[in-house]
Structure 1
Amino acid sequence: MRLFLALCFLLGIPSGAPEIHSLKYFVTGASNVPNFPEYVVVGLVDELQITHYDSNTRRVVPKQDWMNKVTEEDPTYWEDESDVSLRDQQTFKVNIEIMKERFKQTGGVHIFQKMYGCEWDDETGEVNGFHQYGYDGEDFIVLDLKTETWIAPVQQAVPTKHKWDNDKEDLAYWKYYYTQICPDWLKKYVEFGRSSLMRKDLPSVSLLQKTPSSLLTCHATGFYPDRAQMFWKKDEEELHEDVVRGEILPNHDGSFQMSVDLDVSGLQDEDWGRYSCVFHLAGGQEVSKRLDKRDIRTNWKTNDGGLSPGAVAGGVVAALLLLIGCIIGLFIYKKKQPQGFRATNTSETS
């Protein structure tokens, strides 16, 4: 499996079942990458970013307010983590130069990355760890905790594999770290951020279309977290053709939105009811909306010059709301007028 093609992509990887919690760190060392720090570390719990470090600031900082609870038990936590990241930063700079020698490279843009962490099943108590390196978008070396050996997918990693396989003390430490230390920290973080990590908000789903010949958009907004999927299906089977999926985007209130488009230009009227738009939130919750012309929100006009049914319905609602607003406003204005006085004209200005 290819690793680390882009950090922002990795941050969007969907998690598994909700009872499986994860603590992951993505470490990126860059060589000759303009406008990008030489070294970046991003920490995530259940795919939600909790920490950040880069070579420009040289400080590990929390990305969630609840992460500050960690200092209640360890007042020097952030300083200690910053010192560790600074030391690792120097090691990564050396490793990039070693990678260039191994791959016979003299210059250019290169990325050396590490991904490590653990998973914990809060129902069974089972834990699992992972530790792997990638170079220029490809796997370089991976730790197999079950056999306590390193796997080298490429020839250039074989010398490293032999060296690390012979370091039994180091292997014993990694096994202890990923089965004891990492899960313990993960459990703390989950407890600190339980209200955020367990939050599940389903979206409102709408059907949108600019014109009868445009793609039909199924739009979901207001959901949380951002670990979600959205797709069209026909007769209970997921569609892959004539479908365009959009990205998950943030809303101003911290929730998210996304959309998926369907080409309906060739659909017969009798087939519309066979299609449904499905939103699936991590954890199994779903919202399904069947394709119905009456539910489409649009502003295009019909052949006789009138508005489409969706636009008419929206216009009627808007007009009623406007009328009600005017009545309420007039009532408030009347109530505020002083009793026993009448308004007069004046030529004075202030």
Structure 2
Amino acid sequence: MSSTASRNVILVAALLGVLLATLITTYGLPMLLAPELYVLAKFTFIKKTFANDWGTVGTDYGLTALMFTPAIYMLTRVPQSRFRDRSASLLLFYALSVLVGAISHQNFDTVSSMNTPTFRIMWSVCVGSVTAAGGYIGSIGSALAHMSNRSPRQRFKVVQVPRWWWVSYAIILTLMVFCGFFSMERPAADIFLAGITQTPPTVYLFLCLMSNDWGVGMEVFTAQIVLGVGAFLNAPLLPLYGILVRMGLSLGTVNTILHFWLAAAWGSQAYGCLVFSRHIELFEANLLGDQKKMLLEVPVKKNGKGGKNGTAKKEMKNEAEETRKSTRSRTRSTSTAKSKSRSNSRSRSKSKSKA
């Protein structure tokens, strides 16, 4: 088996293992925190547990604008790069989730309306956008790993997970959402299950983010910290949801509080991604500059007598000098050959004229 085939087998096995661990955590952890809130419904609802107040709807629309604005800014004002495209896509999926959520909260206000195919499709898009966003979180980490692993500023090495791995991860989980395996009696609980699936890609992104100092300046250092913190800022929402519901607060109040927290988390991620996207060209320039510097400063191995032959820079100069000498020699040889050819031609011409 070739090395590429072996690597792919390992990656597929890792994908299945991570998916299994993710699903165990997704279904197990909420049951430990608030089992009464996570009762499987598969889009068959008996009672109405879906908020329709303007606190919920308004904050959903606000989150849509908060995510849509930096995404469009990146796509129109920031130079194209792998990191920029994936970051903008992540924010657009966030925006899609809350936009569809707002429309759903605004229009499905009875149990009968919640049991329709339309609600199922709408809410599956809302929740599925969250699981799909996890794939983009991981692929952003892969983009960082691609740069970090080539940089001498690297703090530690991270595996560059291929994009297809994250695409597969996101597609499988999103299909499960559409099949109803994430559908609870309280639709809001679906979002928390989907959020748990973002844990593996978030951890990977954090490791890739911290694997390098990036060497650009204080703004990037700040963005690195903000993005790292913002990536995990969603985590407290899971226990907080159960606490707020048990306090007896209305669904609308609970949603509004959680949405403000979500704005801080997603806003931090948007800021970090935007700053990094703007500095990608500097990262690449620094990377190339550092590589050239390393090439010129790497010491050459000692020769047989124990003395040093010099640095790689001297070797490069010597090679260039030898190349120039060789070129001059070839030029002289060519000139000599041409001169001899002319002399022979003249001699033959004279012989013919005498004859």
TM-score exceeds 0.5: no
Q: Which has the higher contact order (CA 8 A, sep 6+)?
A: 2
TM-score by length of 2: 0.20
TM-score by length of 1: 0.21
Whose strand fraction is larger, Structure 1's or Structure 2's?
A: 1
